[in-house]
Structure 1
Amino acid sequence: MSPSTSEFRSSLIGAWSLTSYRAEPLPGQPGDILYPMTKDASGIIMYTPDGYMSAQLMTPGCPLFKDGDLSGGTQEELAAVGRNYLAYSGPFVVKEDENGRPVLNHSMEVSSFPNWLGNTQVRVAKLEGDRLTLSTEGPIVINGKLMNPILEWKKKQLQPSRL
């Protein structure tokens, strides 16, 4: 039985840690599963009670900027950051599909990928306990190929020592 829209939305609230980001070939198409930000990709996605979300993903191990200037960086350093970081934030809405299942929409008010600015994208979401799986409604281009991205998240729990 699917959770109600309000139950689903309520379960999303909080911070989630990325456990896996992979891109699968389209059904019936040749190709291997890709890990666009390596198998060790890290990230956080957050949903707030007032209806905003923020997703941040990165490839681990990006070298430090040599000059240490927040507004600095060589062309190569800046290019490496651009290739190894994806972020977007904006409102989110949970709606109900024709079968009564919750559907998650992410709107991009800001995005490190400029093609997404101003977009609202449907996320196919599956929530099981403290695990959240998100994918896009249809394939997207990753590394020059149409692929189905699948991101798996685990709900973060604030440690009492950090309160």
Structure 2
Amino acid sequence: MSTPSIQNNPLIGIWKLISATAIHADGTVTQDVYGTHPVGYITYTEDGHMMVMFSRSDRSPLSQEIQSPLTHQMQSLPVKELAQAFTTFNGYAGTYTLSGNTVTHQIEIASIPNRVGTTLVRTFTLSENRVTLLTPPVLNDGVETAFELAWERI
């Protein structure tokens, strides 16, 4: 697998998240798994780098004004608040390769530490100025679930 030249690479650019949907093995679909108006961006560069971050739009603010996540003040927040902040945001970055309608992300940094050094494979479909990325099924609360994220080019 290799990253095609810019002329042959339809993913290059910045995309804004439109929706996030869960597709369960039994055929049921859960719309809005990241809320009704998720917020996020994914970027693919022509030199093979990528980064993505997305979150719920209805995230609760922290109980204290935090200037930096590296401060003692951040570490003193209640665990429940920190967990809520962590579970409503996702981000990672690294490199990517294309093969047909499959994009493979090689993770170098991630909000979920266990993802560092792994690869995430997504199939994609393009329609005008939108791209939809589909994950392979994963076990989610005991049910195999694929996640579909729709993005619009900006």
Q: What one-letter code is carried by the residue in structure 1 that aligns with 2:123?
A: V
CA drift at 1:85: 0.5
Which residue of the partner structure matches residue 140 of structure 1?
Answer: 138
List runs of 5+ in structure 1 lacking aligned partners: 96-100, 157-163
Query: What's the CA shift string for 1:126-146, capped at 9, x where partnerless?
Result: 12221101012x201334421
Q: Which runs of 4+ in 1 moved over 3 A?
A: 5-8
Q: Is the 8 A contact 1:56 1:86 kept in 2?
A: yes
- Give the length in aligned residue pairs: 143
Q: Which residue of the partner structure matches residue 85 of structure 2?
A: 81
Runs of 5+ unmatched residues, structure 2: none
CA-to-aligned-CA distance 1:59-86 (integer Å, 9 cap, x gap): 1122222321223133222111111001
> Does the 8 Å contact 1:25/1:147 carry over to 2?
yes
The answer to whether the Cα contact below 8 Å between 1:8 and 1:102 also exists between their aligned partners in 2 is no
TM-score normalised per structure 2:
0.82
CA–CA separation in structure 1 for the residues paired with 2:93 and 2:149: 16
1:24–1:32 Cα contact (<8 Å) kept = yes
1:36–1:142 contact (8 Å) kept in structure 2: no
Query: Partners of 1:55 and 1:126 in 2: how far apart?
Result: 18
CA-CA distance at 1:148 after TM superposition: 1.3
| Contact kept in structure 1, 2:21 and 2:29, CA below 8 Å | no
Identify the residue that residue 129 of structure 2 maps to in structure 1: 130
Query: Could you report, residue by residue, the CA deviation over 1:26-55 in whole angstroms, capped at 9, with x for unpaired residues?
Result: 2xx264425321232221101112211111
Query: What does residue 151 of structure 2 align with?
Result: 153
TM-score (norm 1): 0.78
Aligned equivalents of 2:36, 2:112: Cα separation in 1 = 21
- Partner SS state of residue 12, structure 1: coil
Percent of residue pairs identical: 27
SS at match of 1:107: strand
